[in-house]
Amino acid sequence: MGCLSGSVNGRTVIIVDDMIDTASTLKFAADVLEREGADNIYVLATHGLFSGNAREKIAGIRKGFLSSIVVSNSVPQEANLDIADDFHVIDISGKAICPIDEYENENGFST
């Protein structure tokens, strides 16, 4: 069923999640938010796995209601670039390298 603790009626909603795997949670949340009157949704996830029938579940979210999906490139996204009309991939490679470099420098590793 699903319920919300506040009103989303007439509002834009941003969904933030750690990953989109099968998109079951995303589809469920989108259905609840649309039922409760949200205008549209933006989805942000760190890891876009898109396994199983995720593509079909995302396609089942009404066009125009799903404004955008944004994921990182923690998983290659080349095969998913057409999963939504407005799909964006954020490059996090630089963010991942800095802590590794710092660790190696602090612990005497050399490249």
78: Cα within 13 Å, side-chain hemisphere: 1
* 51 in any annotated domain: yes
* 27 in any annotated domain: yes
Instruction: Examine the pLDDT at 111 and tell me if it is beyond 60.
Output: no
Instruction: Examine the pLDDT at 99 and tell me if it is beyond 90.
Output: no
Torsion angle defined by CA atoms of residues 64, 50, 69 and 58, in that order, rounded to the nearest 10 degrees:
10
**90, 102, 33, 98: which is closest to 62 by C-alpha?**
33
* 90 in any annotated domain: yes
> 47-51, 52-56, 85-89, 96-100 — which is least confidently predicted?
96-100
Q: What is the CATH number of the domain that holds 40?
A: 3.40.50.2020
Average pLDDT over every residue of 42-70: 97
* 4 in any annotated domain: no
Instruction: Examine the pLDDT at 101 and tell me if it is beyond 80.
Output: no
Tokens at 54, concatenated: 């995720």
Continuous segment of H or E residues that includes residue 70: strand 66-72
The predicted model scores a pTM of 0.85
* 3 in any annotated domain: no
Question: Residue 34 in contact with residue 63, Cβ under 8 Å?
Answer: no
d(Cα 108, Cα 36) in Å, to the nearest integer?
56
* 111 in any annotated domain: no
* 1 in any annotated domain: no
Average pLDDT over every residue of 33-48: 97
Instruction: Examine the pLDDT at 110 and tell me if it is beyond 90.
Output: no
Q: What length does the chain have?
A: 111
Average pLDDT value for the chain: 92
